Amino acid sequence: MAQLNLIDSFKEFKEFKNIDREVMMGILEEVFRAMIIKNYGDDENFDIIINPDKGDLEIWRNREIVPDGEVEDENSQIELSEALKIEDDFEVGEEVSEEIKLESFGRRNVLALRQNLAGRVMDLEKDALYEKYKERVGEVVTAEVYQIWKREILLVDDEDNEVVMPREHQIPGDFFKKGDTIRAVVAEVEMRNNNPRIILSRTAPEFLERLFEQEVPEIFDGLITIKRVVRAPGERAKVAVESYDDRVDPVGACVGMKGSRIHSIVRELKNENIDVINWTENEQLLVSRALSPAKITSMELDAVTRQAKVFLKADQVSLAIGRGGNNIKLAGQLTNYEIDVYRDDEDVLEDVDLQEFADEIDGWILDEFRKIGLETARAVLEIGQEDLVRRTDLEDETIAEVLKILKEELA
């Protein structure tokens, strides 16, 4: 029974993943020789024949035939009378090969061997999985959601290896359920408690970079190079690209006809707003492009302190800063400058668009001013409070509060 169980376990070995055949055979022989040494004291005169694909296992002990009564080492020598029981034409000095059955080692030794073997193969699998994914860091893989926890998602790849995606590596708009197939980049591989932990990410800049390589043939072929990628996952990203061929428009190639190429990437990233800009070694021009879609009036750069003072017209300030400050933050990361935004002095004296006050004044109130043709702060202030009360449906107190806000802003 012990031999049958052991041979059945051999048949399972060919199903193990990521294990080199020669390495596995070496582990098997090493485990068996350890058991032989434990029982016989030496393994030099033993041959082990293993075929894990078929479940074959043979252990042969080779002993020298000596005259009766002259055996000094029972492990390596056998008396002539005993050898003749095996085959009747043996002579002194010849070698006898005798098969050793697993049952002869005893049930306890066989069970210990099985446990040792399973542990060694499991460790081998863990090491092989670690090395496999260590070489794939930065690659996009596809995995299926197996279980969803509060802090991370457990997934399995196409070879049933377990990988994880922590919450911080998920795009805020991501929503998965068991059985979903998702794409992500291999962000990190580590050994934790002697177990490989493969971490996938959909928020890493490398994920966006790999998606561009898949969607834009010119990048894959090397005609266009991605110089830098920065992201606020799920909100905004900036990708700087460069072409060494003047005939290739890097931005146009990345965006595609009517945005066909970039749209699939945007959908994959849950409608993340992606700005693709031309890379340049001219830092002033790069800062200007990085703050897109805002248009800059002028700027002052300090290459030593990496400080950038950017001056814009009033209606461009909110565009430069962006929602939640993401645009200016990403522009700073892309250019490696700390960017400060200033309103152009001349522009402040001229006027400020009413839309700039949307955070302080309710939209329906601003709409009342637009109904009577007022689009800027100075246009409202020039009419006066009494005329505004008469020409709009707003209360006297509301208009007074609005005028106060406009005056403070222009001051």
Model pLDDT for residues 107-157, shown as the tens digit of each residue: 787 787 778 777 777 887 888 889 889 999 999 999 999 999 999 999 999
pLDDT band per the 50, 70, 90 thresholds, residue 70: confident
Range of the domain at 189: 138-201
In a domain, 304, yes or no: no
> DSSP assignment of 88-138, as one string?
TT--TT-EEEEEPPGGGG-HHHHHHHHHHHHHHHHHHHHHHHHHHHHTTTT
Answer yes or no: is 361 within a domain: yes
Residue 295 per-residue DSSP state: -
Exposed/middle/buried for 146, CB within 10 Å: 0-12, 13-18, 19+? middle
- Whole-model pTM: value is 0.65
For residue 91, the domain's CATH number is 3.30.1480
Q: Are residues 222 and 124 in the same domain?
A: no
Phi and psi torsions of 183, nearest 5°: -110, 140
Domain CATH for 251? 3.30.300.20
Whether residues 55 and 165 share a domain: the answer is no
Q: How far is CA 240 from CA 73, 218, 276, 332, 388, in A?
A: 78, 15, 6, 13, 49
- pLDDT attached to residue 337: 94
More confident residue, 202 or 317: 202
pLDDT for the residue numbered 53: 61
Number of independent structural domains in the chain: 4
Average confidence (pLDDT) over 18-35: 74
Taking only Cα atoms into account, the Rg of the chain, rounded to an integer number of angstroms, comes to 38
Tokens 């693709």 correspond to what residue? 276
pLDDT in tens, 333-345: 999 999 999 887 5
Find the largest Cα–Cα distance for the chain.
132
**Of 137, 129, 148, residue with least CA distance to 192:** 129
| φ/ψ bin of 55: left (φ > 0), alpha (ψ from -120 to 50), beta (otherwise) | left
Query: Is residue 328 in some structural domain?
Result: no
Per-residue pLDDT at 411:
65
Considering the domain architecture, whether residues 245 and 359 belong to the same structural domain is answered as: no
Q: Which residue has the tokens 């020039």?
A: 382
21/126 same-domain check = yes
Amino acid at 291: L
